[in-house]
Amino acid sequence: MLDNIKNIHIKTLSKAWATLSEINYDYQFKNGSWKRVSRESYDRGHGTGILLYNPEKGTVILTRQFRMPIYQTKKEDGMSIEVCAGAIDDKDSPESTIIREVEEEVGYRIQEVKKVMEAYTSPGALTEKMYLFVAPYSADMKVNGGGGIASEHEEIEVMELPFSKALKMIESTEIQDAKTIMLLQYAHIHSLLGKKNGE
């Protein structure tokens, strides 16, 4: 427990899809002064994301889907290119969650995943921590067409791309999703698809 924060008061502003809270607290700055601070925090639980890669083909699996917050910012295009991802249910582990999401969203049945990092993608406003994984895939792991679950109003396009093209899509800003950029750069730094494919 930090000793430079006290008198915390939390007010719930909304409990619709997730919980939006207003948090007021006293914070002691380095000069010794205390200030009353007010912040808002959005709690939607934690999430997972995974980069599926095929070293033999030099390809990765990404998804493309509509995202309303992007549409709010850029009305001409609300689509987002991302790694496969999903929210963690209370009773599930990050590993079991992402294995299930891979089959639902992109149609591959994988058995093992490797966690490579944990990250808060917007710690100034979101409590969400992302557990990020990588795993190899091959054609024989394909069990369905993917696309998400209709009851959850998902409509997901599955994209198999050359890894080198995916990296260029970061530079061209076609890919702007933070978790996707982090995982693609991880794969590049660690040469998961070989140095040739990461050129």
Q: Which amino acids are annotated as binding site, given as ranges?
A: 85, 101, 105, 154
Q: Can you say which residues are annotated as belonging to the binding site for Mg(2+)?
A: 85, 101, 105, 154
At 8, the amino acid letter reads I
If one counts every other C-beta atom within 10 angstroms of the C-beta of residue 52, the result is: 24
- Alpha helical stretches, state H, the chain: 68-73, 94-106, 163-171, 178-189
Cα dihedral across residues 188, 190, 196, 197: positive or negative: negative
* Distance between CA atoms of residues 83 and 75, nearest Å: 23
